[in-house]
Structure 1
Amino acid sequence: MEFFHIVILALIQGLTEFLPISSSAHLILPKEVLGWPDQGLAFDVAVHFGSLTAVIIYFRSEVWALLRDGLGGLVNNRFTDDGRLAWLIVLATIPAGLVGLAFKGFIETHLRSAAVIAATTIGFGLLLWWADVFGRRQETLAQLNWKKALAIGLAQALALIPGTSRSGITMTAGLMLGMKREDAARFSFLMSIPVIALSAMLLTFDLLSLEAVPWGDILLGTVLSGISAYLCIHFFLQFISRIGMAPFAIYRLLLGAALIWMIWG
């Protein structure tokens, strides 16, 4: 990849990974509109590690508390709120892991078209708006139980379909289950850690099978996507309680319409 392409795509990926607007939909635009080449495996590895680093650094105190109390609860058989939340995150991760292993090949072969991405971008954008308007927005992370965590995890499995948006569908599910906006967002971001980590590990194994690995491109993509993802998380959590999900839903509708215009225009 050219230096300029790496910079732009890494920034796009970092900014859109944690916003409910679908990173896959945005990464198809430079390819379709500008004729850029496919970003390739090295770029995928870089942005995954960048996003993972950003979310771990931002939530470093929470991550430490989750690890400490989650593992400590197994030893002491006494779970704090953080320990309980840690195992709810594990539970919520299982559906995406199982669906990914079972249908990864089918999804990559049949569901990566621009038409699918346009449909999911619009459809799940409307669902996000509905959940934000009609959700009760009363419950906090402390009130989350295993049934609701599993439901959000099942929703996360849908994000394997390009254009759905992992953060978007998990926030939508949280809102539909009555969670406050910021709590739904925080749970979505914390849920991303094991999912992104597993995905990055699998991609790294694939990368090591290549004869020539562009480590310079990987480092640059990792740093840029990490910085943009960190800033995205920070400002999203700062403003989400005030602005709501409507701007993101509207943006998804416009983006979906643009993709449809590119396909059939």
Structure 2
Amino acid sequence: MTEPQSNQVDAESLDNTGLVLRQDEDSVAFLTLNLPGAYNALSLAMMEAVLQELARLDQDPGIAAVVIKGSGKGFCAGHDLKEMRANPDVAFREKTFATCSAMMMAVTQLRQPVIAQIHGIATAAGCQLVASCDLAIAATDARFSTPGVNIGLFCSTPMVALSRAVSRKKAMEMLLTGDMIGAPEAAGIGLINKSVPSDLLDRAVKELAQKVASKSPLVLKTGKEAFYQQIDMPLAQAYDHCSRIMVENMAFKDAEEGIDAFIGKRPPVWKGE
């Protein structure tokens, strides 16, 4: 897969492990899971590295959108099962799953929208990561599954994100059978936004990321936060909550600028205020 070409100074390897590579292009940050020999398995160190990068990004005013992708032949094969078998201590396993949950929630809570770019496979916790991202585009030959049931380890934590991204029946089908589904079906059930030919994947993701990043960063933060706050509320409570958000949003300088630009038929100039 072709790496995104940056017109800025190279910003890779911001963590000292090399497990996550970062490259910035304009206001988009590309994070690459970098353990290709193990299909970017989510070892404890890998997840801690992702959390470190997300914490940095949350404080970076120059970044308006984030892309998460994988190196090598696939996006992510899920947890590092060899590591977990080699560490039977309950405390280690508790830390592993707690760190995984923290990483998934950090994706959802990040102020910038996060886009998953999927090629090859996204299985188990890798599928969970796709479901946790705000948007997702996959190559047409990408495949997805939650196969834990096949090895005696039900994908209970992947189920949390999966069941919130797709219908209950499709989530249960994936969880109970462990079967792979293709990218077109994943798009059909809402796990991803769309699939594109593999040679167009980089361009499609970059175009989407740049489109999102062109909006007011303050409005993106406000909207993403409100989306996840209201999604599980009762209908009346959700409307009350989002009405308050709209009133607050109307007071933003970026809202005034956006409306004035629309009326004046000119591009808006965002200030993030």
Between 1 and 2, higher relative CO (CA 8 Å, sep ≥ 6) is seen in 1
Q: Normalization by structure 2: what TM-score?
A: 0.27
TM-score, L = length of structure 1: 0.28
**Higher Rg of the two aligned structures:** 2
Name whichever structure is richer in helix by fraction.
Answer: 1
More strand by share: 2
